[in-house]
Amino acid sequence: MFFHIKELQYHAKPSKPDPVFARQLQEALGGQYGEISVMMQYLWQGFNSRADPKYRDLLFDTGTEEIGHVEMFATMIARLLDDAPFEDQKAAYDSDPAIAAIMGGTNPQHAIVSGLGALPADAMGYPWNAKYIISSGNLLADFRANLNAESQGRLQVVRLYGMTDDPGVRDMLSFLIARDTMHQNQWYAAVRELEERENDIVVPTTFPRRLEKEEVAYTLFNFSRGSESSKGRWASGPSMDGRGQFNYVAEPQPFAGAPKLKPAPFLYHDTMPPKSMM
């Protein structure tokens, strides 16, 4: 069961209305790497977890915290829209092209659809999509996805921090940036722990190596002009999993010839092949 606690985890109060920035904050709420995404990702991974209870508990701890962050963003957006003089803005919009260009940054759905409230959507109004989240059942793969999600989310919130001078907004974003720091560290710690426990870094760790084409398992093929990629750690020396040696192929050759497909049956009305192929 979940219980809602009425107090916010942290302050979410701007110093003044700003409907333009309210739209920008929508990205950190309902965008691909926004708070709704990490909330749903961690909770879904927790719901589906069959592994060690400590990982399940970590997922629920963090997913439930992210529910609170969603509420903080929704509250901040609503307050940025409070007392926003939409009628005055409309008059200015109609009379001054320069102001019209600025006010083009507002989201009319904040007034029309949500009644001065936040939307489960990104900054462009695109609705939040469950396709954004990853819950594979493999915790090593999932925790790596979580680390990426927190990295991208923190990057976007830091950018938003630089796009406003409102001390109240910055105060909340500063708190969330710090929480993203913790979440990146915790997922990285969990990834390293699983790698050490399973003695592997390749997902899934249980797939029999003999079934791989091992001759290409540690080869970097030079498929772009230039050879700069040959200078990296990934091009020579022991592989990261300790099971092979990296090697670099400067001029890769195909393993197979050009494919030749049979003509499609007449029923499918395909393009007629040249007579040489018939």
The annotation status of 114 as a binding-site residue, yes or no, is no
State whether 64 and 83 are in the same domain. yes
Place of tokens 């990629």: 229
Higher-confidence position of 271 and 146: 146
Cis status of the peptide bond prior to 204, with omega within 30 of 0: yes
Higher-confidence position of 190 and 102: 190
The annotation status of 66 as a binding-site residue, yes or no, is yes
- Provide the domain limits for residue 173: 19-198
Mean pLDDT of 130-140: 97
The annotation status of 224 as a binding-site residue, yes or no, is yes
The annotation status of 150 as a binding-site residue, yes or no, is yes
State whether 180 and 221 are in the same domain. no
Specify whether the CB–CB gap between 215 and 254 falls below 8 A: no
Residue that finishes a domain, picked among 198, 228, 260:
198
Mean pLDDT of the chain: 91
The annotation status of 69 as a binding-site residue, yes or no, is yes
Q: Is residue 136 part of a domain?
A: yes
State whether 28 and 132 are in the same domain. yes
State whether 141 and 216 are in the same domain. no
Please state the φ and ψ torsions of residue 248, each to the nearest 5 degrees: -120, 130
Query: Is residue 185 predicted with pLDDT exceeding 90?
Result: yes
This prediction has a pTM of 0.87
The annotation status of 183 as a binding-site residue, yes or no, is yes
Please report which helix (H) or strand (E) contains residue 97, including its range: helix 97-103
How confident is the model over 165-183, as pLDDT tens digits? 999 999 999 999 999 999 9
- Strands of the sheet with 219-221, listed across from one edge: 219-221, 245-249, 237-238
Residue that finishes a domain, picked among 198, 222, 238:
198
State whether 167 and 75 are in the same domain. yes
Please report which helix (H) or strand (E) contains residue 219, including its range: strand 219-221
Q: Is residue 256 part of a domain?
A: no
State whether 31 and 101 are in the same domain. yes
Q: Is residue 127 part of a domain?
A: yes
The annotation status of 226 as a binding-site residue, yes or no, is yes
State whether 114 and 168 are in the same domain. yes
State whether 107 and 230 are in the same domain. no
Tell me how many domains the chain contains.
2
**pLDDT bucket at 250, cuts 50 / 70 / 90:** very high
The annotation status of 115 as a binding-site residue, yes or no, is no
